[in-house]
Amino acid sequence: MVNNTTRKNDITNYIKGLLCITPILIVLYYFVYTQRQERLEEINFINNHPSGYVKGIVTQKSSYKGHSITVTWKINGKVYTGSDGYYEGDSIEQGDSILIKYSKEKPQLMITRFNDSFVLK
């Protein structure tokens, strides 16, 4: 009888844990998914509207929980900052210059040469 009660309590606690964790996972998934969709829309905008190329400076490099670089570039006297990913094998360090493709309509949008969608036209 004690084993049966203990087993029911274990199952009840397991279900309660799942009910608590599931909403958190759903919110986390939604956040990651929407962030990715927004980035894909930005890349699509850059590639399907007039764009230009300019050298930017890598101001930060991060390999914690993904690989990303922060880049600063200047268009018509205005300075912009954005980030993009890179692969672990890519040779890039903070302070390096890097070719970026930016949107002429929205110069705050850019992709670096490390992005798979980067194409010179």
pLDDT for the residue 94: 93
Walk along the chain (121 residues) in steps of 10 and give the mean pLDDT of each run. Answer: 73 86 89 87 92 95 87 96 88 93 95 88 74
Angstrom CA distances, 46 to 40, 77, 80, 87, 104, stand at 10, 20, 15, 21, 8
**DSSP 3-state of 14:** helix
Count of structural domains within the chain: 1
Q: What is the pLDDT of residue 37?
A: 92
The order of strands in the sheet holding 68-75 is: 78-85, 68-75, 51-62, 97-103, 110-112
Q: What is the pLDDT of residue 4?
A: 73
At 42-65, the pLDDT tens digits run: 999 999 999 999 999 999 998 877
Q: 90: domain range?
A: 1-121
